[in-house]
Amino acid sequence: MIAADRDLQYEVEQFLFEEADLLDEHRYREWLDLFTDDVRYLVPIRETTTEQPDGVPPADELRVAHINDDKRALQMRLSRLESGLQHSEWPPSRTRRVIGNIRLTASEGDELSVRSNFMLFQSRRETAEFLFVGRRQDRLRRVDGSWRIARRTVLLDHNVLPRSLSIFF
């Protein structure tokens, strides 16, 4: 944990809240602009073992993930969503994200490490509802005076996913 001043804490919280709103409002291109060009977006598969009780292997051992994207891959996902050809998201889901327990955990130069928890409600076609819960570990970088996400690791608390991952966290 770092000793952050209130202004910095507030600034980071508002950035993450705005990001959640962009996703819930399906403003995906604006959301993508919040990422650096060298971003890595990871949703690792968690497997609890004696050596790794939280189910997350060290970063250098990540071999298989639900999602392991760079910015180009995120752009391709968005293009599929916008095309209407991604049947798991047509018509688009209704979503609501709640972001909380935001903690600034480290600072180095123009980058901050930030941890937050989330709950994401997803409603599909009036007949299906899903709840995703987990933690995000972000590395934020200040670029031209604004925060950008340089790395995001999403740690889902699910043993079994309720459906395919067609949304962003």
Task: Give the pLDDT of residue 9.
Answer: 95
Cα–Cα distance, 93 to 131 (Å, whole number):
12
Cα–Cα distance, 168 to 90 (Å, whole number):
15
Whether 163 maps to a domain, the answer reads: no
- CATH code, domain carrying 54: 3.10.450.50
Task: Give the pLDDT of residue 93.
Answer: 87
Task: Give the pLDDT of residue 166.
Answer: 82
Of 42-46, 97-101, 103-107, 156-160, the range with the highest mean pLDDT is 97-101
How many helices and strands in the chain, by DSSP H and E?
3, 6
pLDDT band (50, 70, 90) for residue 97 = very high
Whether 67 maps to a domain, the answer reads: yes
Whether 161 maps to a domain, the answer reads: no
Q: Domain span at residue 19?
A: 6-156
Whether 70 maps to a domain, the answer reads: yes
**C-alpha count within 13 angstroms, C-beta hemisphere, residue 73:** 10
Into how many domains does the chain fold?
Answer: 1
Task: Give the pLDDT of residue 36.
Answer: 98
Amino acid, single-letter form, for residue 38: D
For the ranges 8-17, 90-99, 130-139, the lowest mean pLDDT is seen at 90-99
- Beta-carbon count within 10 A of 47 CB: 11
Of 83-87, 88-92, 122-126, the range with the highest mean pLDDT is 122-126
The 8-class DSSP code of residue 100 comes to E
**Mean pLDDT over residues 20-47, rounded?**
95
Whether pTM exceeds 0.75: yes
Whether 124 maps to a domain, the answer reads: yes
Whether 146 maps to a domain, the answer reads: yes
Q: Which residue has the higher pLDDT, 67 or 140?
A: 140
**Residue 139: CB partners within 8 Å, gap ≥ 6?**
111, 112, 113, 114, 149, 150, 151, 152
Q: Which residue has the higher pLDDT, 40 or 88?
A: 40
**Residue 138: CB partners within 8 Å, gap ≥ 6?**
16, 113, 114, 115, 116, 149, 151, 152, 153
Whether 168 maps to a domain, the answer reads: no
The 8-class DSSP code of residue 80 comes to H
Whether 98 maps to a domain, the answer reads: yes
**Average pLDDT over all residues of the chain:** 89
Q: What are the pLDDT digits (tens) for 109-168? A: 999 999 999 999 999 887 889 999 999 999 999 999 999 999 999 999 987 776 678 889
